[in-house]
Amino acid sequence: MHSEFSIQLKWTPTRRDDATRWILAHVLRNKIWIVVLVLGAIGNAAGAALMPVFIGQAFNAVVNPPIDYALIGGAALGIILSQVVRAVLQLGRNFGSEVIGQRLERDTRHELYASLIGKSMTFHDQQSVGDVMARATNDVREINLMLNPGVNLVVGSFMFLIMPLVIAPQISLALIITPLAFLVLYLISLQHYLQQLKPATESVRRQFGNMNATLAENIEGIETVKGAAQEDQAIERFESEARAYRDAFVQQGYIESRFMPLLWQGIASAVALAHSLLLHHQGLIDVGQVVAYNGLILLFGFPTFTSAFAYPQIASGLTSARRILALINAETNLDENTGGYAGRIRGAIQFEHATLQYRSEAPVLEDVSFDVQPGQTVALVGQTGSGKTSIVKLLNRIYDATEGRVLIDGVDVREWQLAALRSQISIIEQDLFLFSRTVAENIKFGQPAATQEQVETAAKAAQAHEFILKFADGYNTIVGERGVTLSGGQRQRLALARALLTEPKILILDDATSAIDSATEDQIQQAIYTAAQGRTTILITHRLSQIRWADVIVVMKLGRVAEIGTHEELLEKSGAYRNIFAR
């Protein structure tokens, strides 16, 4: 179980335990383009190998009088035709690798995004937003680049390594020694190179994620940074992470600069020239064959040169794939329970000795027990940090109780189908969130099929209709990210309208009127009071005006239920309750 929700994709790989197998599973879906890529690579290498052969024939036609112009013309024609075919096949190779790479990036992005959306809040609470964004953007892009140009060049260069081994023995069997020795040394050096490259690329990708996380944190908290006049400190911290990223990148470059096949290729060229001249001196091969053979040896220049940056690209792509799989495979302790109970909620709530503990920290809730009848309004009161918000997060299974049970209509919330449970519960949080979309789209976020009339009805109930009409574009006005273009009261009224539009069976208001001025508060409270009729409502508030009309008041203290009763009862018997209002 990797996700709280399993988002259905058109196709998902059967194995995600290994980055190489995972990528290969994606790539093998493009079998036609793989064939095009391989045939193009073979054709390109064969075309490149034919050129020195034709040039060698032309040399023989010139150095052996009389000059054979027909042979020279035939060689020239052979070069032209072979290079035209080579160009077409090389285009197919590049096009095929580009298609595979783009499809791999698309499918990876979909798979990762679906996984992130499906993860529980426990998972997201433990992640750095900036690092997640780095993996979802830059690391996904690196996977594309791993295919093209990475794998594209590796496949192409491998064919260039093979051609001298195929053609050289046809000139003279002895001439296979140099290309064979070079190939062995190349593979040994490449293995050692990749072993050194892996930790270097992992460090680069990790430091990039850290740098991105610092940037995201500073931008998201820019108001706090400026409010405390800590711009210099923020800049210094980002520069420190940027230097760490630079140092990791330089270290990778240092490893790349010591790519030994560059040395072997130079030595192989010198040895091949000496060997072929010796055979010519012995009369075993002619001048044209010397030229052709040394032209074939020059083919090693392409795989040697391209490997210096193609393999780092592949190593970086594999590291990125491991980082992406780490997110996808991260376990979550919640399950959507697709076969669970999915009835209509009546609104009965029971907490039976519920305890909530985050990781290894002290419990934020301990042995919480109370009952709520359908249609009742319950007020949760207590000092900051007493566990009020944690209680409501157990209701819709943002978190699961570590001990005890939470029941809705007599059914443990863990036995409910998660989608059915959450679709019937609306929460207006103190730290509410609005999307960078139109006002209407924000209101109907939980009910995308709602009509304009329904949207306006909900807005009127939330006392938001009038200020919306004052905007230049009315309900089509784009609000800034997180609703920054709106006042606190406007954001909360839009959130209330969004909650009312879904017609929830359980309505939770977590200090939902904290940013509303006193002139509007009476109207909002009337809207809340009207909305609460016929549904179970939970209020988390310090406002006496709201607490007083609650049917039941639960007083929380240090994660425990201190007292339960009506306003009058608690004023009479609870010192903790009286202290709340005394402060």
What pLDDT score does 518 carry?
64
Is there a domain that residue 492 lies in?
yes
**Is position 273 within any domain?**
yes
Q: Strand 349-356 to strand 560-565: parallel, antiparallel, or no bridges (unpaired)?
A: unpaired
Give me the pLDDT at residue 485, please.
72
The DSSP 8-state label assigned to residue 408 in this structure reads E
Instruction: Please give the chain's pLDDT, 583 residues, in tens.
Output: 445 566 667 777 777 888 889 999 999 999 999 999 999 999 999 999 999 999 999 988 888 788 888 888 999 999 999 999 999 999 999 999 999 999 999 999 988 888 888 787 777 777 888 888 888 888 999 999 999 899 999 999 899 999 999 999 999 999 999 999 999 999 999 888 888 888 998 899 889 888 988 888 888 777 777 777 788 888 888 899 999 999 999 998 898 888 888 889 899 999 999 999 999 999 899 999 999 999 999 999 998 888 888 888 998 999 999 999 988 888 776 777 888 888 999 999 999 999 998 766 788 999 999 999 999 999 998 888 888 888 988 998 888 898 999 999 999 999 998 888 988 898 887 667 788 889 999 999 888 889 999 999 988 888 889 889 988 889 999 887 666 678 777 888 888 888 888 888 899 888 766 555 666 666 667 767 767 777 899 988 877 777 877 889 999 888 999 889 888 888 888 777 777 766 5
Say if residues 281 and 41 touch (Cβ distance below 8 Å). Answer: no
CA 384/CA 40 separation, integer angstroms: 67
Q: Tell me, yes or no, whether 222 and 125 share the same domain.
A: yes
Does 85 fall in a domain?
yes
Answer for the pair 341, 288: CB distance below 8 angstroms, yes or no. Answer: no
d(CA 39, CA 42): 5
For 67-121, the three-class secondary structure string (H helix, E strand, C coil) is CCHHHHHHHHHHHHHHHHHHHHHHHHHHHHHHHHHHHHHHHHHHHHHHHHHHCCH
Assess contact for 356 and 406: CB atoms under 8 A.
no
Same structural domain, 216 and 316: yes
Closest CA to 56 of 69, 43, 75, 70: 75
Residues 405 and 274 in one domain: no
Q: What is the pLDDT of residue 517?
A: 60
CA distances to 86, 198, 310, 523 from 36, rounded to whole Å, are 13, 30, 20, 69
- Mark whether 286 and 371 lie in a shared domain: no
Contact call for residues 349 and 395 (beta carbons, < 8 A): yes
Rounded to whole angstroms, how far apart are CA atoms 439 and 180?
70
**Distance from C-alpha of 146 to C-alpha of 235, rounded to nearest angstrom:** 33
Question: SS3 for 113?
Answer: helix
Q: Do residues 303 and 159 make contact, with C-beta atoms less than 8 angstroms apart?
A: no
Instruction: Mark which of 328, 361, 389 sits at the end of a domain.
Output: 328
DSSP state, residue 507: E
Alpha-carbon distance 157 to 159, whole Å? 5
Same domain flag for 357 and 321: no
Q: How many domains does the chain have?
A: 2
* Residue 216 domain flag: yes
Pair 380, 452 in one domain? yes
pLDDT at 7: 65
CA 196/CA 315 separation, integer angstroms: 10
CATH number for 363: 3.40.50.300
Q: Is residue 74 part of a domain?
A: yes
- End residue of a domain, out of 299, 328, 357: 328
The token pair that represents 507 in the structure block: 């309505």
- How far from chain centre, in Å, is Cα 518? 44
Residues across the chain = 583
Q: In this structure, are strands 536-540 and 425-428 parallel, antiparallel, or unpaired?
A: unpaired
Cα torsion 568, 571, 577, 583: sign? positive
Two structure tokens written together for 96:
């095929």
Q: Are residues 357 and 307 in the same domain?
A: no
59 and 158 fall within a common domain: yes
Looking at the structure, do residues 511 and 440 belong to the same domain, yes or no?
Answer: yes
327 SS3 class: helix
Question: Is residue 313 domain-shared with residue 362, that is, in the same domain?
Answer: no
Crossing angle between the packed helical segments 301-328 and 69-118, to the nearest 10 degrees:
10
- Under DSSP, the state recorded for 483 is G
Residues 6+ apart with CB under 8 A from 19: 318, 321, 322, 325
The predicted pLDDT at position 486 comes to: 81
Say how many CA atoms lie within 13 Å of 319 toward its Cβ: 23
Assess whether 387 and 286 both reside in one domain: no
Longest dimension (CA), the chain: 124
Per the CB < 8 A criterion, the answer to whether 109 and 86 are in contact is: no
In whole angstroms, give the CA distance from residue 519 to residue 235.
43
What one-character-per-residue DSSP string does 205-261 give? HHHHHHHHHHHHHHHHTHHHHHHTT-HHHHHHHHHHHHHHHHHHHHHHHHHHHT-TH
Domain boundary among 328, 359, 377: 328
Say if CB 394 and CB 554 are below 8 A apart: no
Question: pTM score, two decimals?
Answer: 0.75
Sheet holding 560-565, edge to edge: 425-428, 506-510, 536-540, 377-382, 552-557, 560-565
- Give the distance, in angstroms, between the CA of residue 489 and the centroid of all CA atoms in the same chain: 34
Kindly state whether residues 449 and 553 are assigned to the same domain. yes
CATH number, domain of 214, equals 1.20.1560.10
> Is residue 3 one of the residues assigned to a domain?
no
- For residue 58, being part of any structural domain is answered with yes
Cis peptide before 448 (omega within 30 of 0): no
Residue 11 lies in a domain: no
Q: Which two tokens stand for residue 40?
A: 């193009």
Q: How far apart are CA 118 and CA 126, in angstroms?
A: 15
The residue segments making up the domain with residue 446 are: 349-582
